[in-house]
Amino acid sequence: MTQRYDIAIVGSGPAALEAAINAKIRNKNIIIFGNKDFSGKLIKAPKINNYLGFYDIKGTELKNHFEEHIKNMGIQITEERIDSIYAMGEYFALMANQKQYEAKTIILAVGMEYGKQLKGEEGFLGRGVGYCATCDAPLYKGKSVTIIGYNKEAEEEANYVSELAAELHYIPMYKGEYDLNDKIQVINDKPIEIKGDEKVKKVIMENDSIDTDGVFILKDSIPPGQLVPGLEMEDEHIKVNKNMVTNIKGCFAAGDCTGKPYQYMKAAGEGQVAALSAVEYLSEI
Amino acid sequence: MVKELVGLNFKQEVIDADTTTVVDFWAPWCGPCRMLGPVIDELSQEIGDKANFFKINVDENNDIAQKYRISSIPCVIVFKGGQIVDTMVGFRPKQDMQNIISKHL
Ligand SMILES: Cc1cc2nc3c(=O)[nH]c(=O)nc-3n(C[C@H](O)[C@H](O)[C@H](O)COP(=O)(O)OP(=O)(O)OC[C@H]3O[C@@H](n4cnc5c(N)ncnc54)[C@H](O)[C@@H]3O)c2cc1C
């Protein structure tokens, strides 16, 4: 059987790390997902003057302090990107590539890095708009599909979908060589809006438009509402109360993903509150 | 209990049913569907006789999937008196599903 953690922390920025150390102090069995750099925003900061205790410090230096801190507490980052999280009732199932992790509670500390949505994107979600082409491809057998790809990995999905769809349009949102099969029609134009009636009908671009039955939007990072189906958002942020509790039982959130101001201290403070709320919740279930 | 439904008995079991009927449109290749399966199972146990639960494989019942315009799965449709009273697209937490289905019991 898979191990069921007390707390799974998604993200590795200041909010996540602060949550991790507090959960560890309270003796919880935790797992934290993220990357070696902790946060792209941390290592990019040229100079930080508003982090109490550190005056005039570079982002990379602060990162080293964070690293030292978690190392001393025996916390290790699991370098894995979580693709989706399912609230199963008693527990959460976290999916990373083909792997599955389980935890009784989760803390979302994913930052804010997901670009703007297209006009119509949200409204047609599930009615022709999707975020996982390989998941829904068989439903588009013999139909016309458009993929808006933000990275190289999207090409692989496009190749797969093209075997099922009658026609496939690929709109690359990056420059480079495209490794796509001949059936796929590459369109170099900027998508602006998704249109239709009760279902998707068209993608409107700057210079042209395409008739299509389905649109898949494939990006690097996933908006929290898609990462955790059923999670309540408030504009582009996760809705939390002052205890960092979301609308889903056992799911907490902290840092930039919960709203402004986007600052290290706020992120860390929220991470701490989220961890303590998770600990309290664990003692009640 | 969640019963497997095939096209042939759809009208009889869903459209003509006296009770609220919950139909889970799924397919074996769909990851979120596999996650939702056990959640629906649990709900059917908890809700008991007040609603009938079915799952329908969209690969094997393309005509019904087309008829109900299923463009993303999992998709759970709640029927009452032969009419659609609620549609849930994508995975939903158990709590949400429970709240939505309870409204129609
Ligand atoms: C150039 C720059 C300078 C800044 N200077 C300052 C400053 O001087 N003072 C200040 O207070 N603030 C500053 N900020 C803002 C600060 O960086 C952010 O407020 C802070 O990093 C937010 O922390 P966070 O933990 O919420 O998220 P982030 O730091 O964004 O960390 C989130 C991490 O989680 C990872 N992640 C996301 N989704 C997943 C997933 N599904 N699975 C696994 N991992 C995931 C991300 O890749 C990222 O590494 C600056 C920002 C920038 C860009």
Q: Which of A83, A88, A102 to mutate to test the interface with B (most CBs of B within 10 A)?
A: A88
pLDDT at A110: 96
DSSP A55-111: -SB-HHHHHHHHHHHHHHTT--EE-----EEEE-SSSEEEEETTEEEEEEEEEE---
pLDDT at A1: 65
Ligand 1, atom nearest to A83 Cα: 41
C-beta of residue A203 within 8 angstroms of C-beta of residue A187: no
Region of A76 on the Ramachandran plot (φ > 0 left; ψ -120 to 50 alpha; else beta): beta
What's the predicted TM-score (pTM) here?
Answer: 0.88
**Best residue for ligand 1 mutational test, from A38, A39, A50 (most atoms within 8 Å of Cβ):** A39
Angstrom distance (rounded) from CA A282 to CA A99: 25
**Is residue A210 helix, strand or coil?**
strand
ipTM for the predicted complex comes to 0.86
Q: Which of A270, A230, A272 is CA-nearest to residue A247?
A: A230
Tell whether the model's pLDDT for residue B5 goes beyond 90. no
Contacts with B31 from chain A: Cβ below 8 Å: 84, 95, 135
Q: pLDDT of chain A along its 285 residues, tens only? A: 679 999 999 999 999 999 999 999 999 999 999 999 999 999 999 999 999 999 999 999 999 999 999 999 999 999 998 989 999 999 999 998 778 999 999 999 999 976 778 999 988 887 899 888 887 888 899 999 999 999 898 999 999 999 999 999 999 999 989 999 999 999 999 999 999 998 899 999 999 999 999 999 998 778 898 899 999 999 889 999 999 999 999 999 999 999 999 999 999 999 999 999 999 999 999
pLDDT at A116: 79
**Catalytic residue list of B:** 30, 33
Burial A186-200 (b: 16+ CB within 10 A, else e): ebeeebeebebeeeb
CB contact under 8 A, A89 and B58: no
Distance A172 CA to ligand 1 centre (A): 27
Contacts with B92 from chain A: Cβ below 8 Å: 229-230
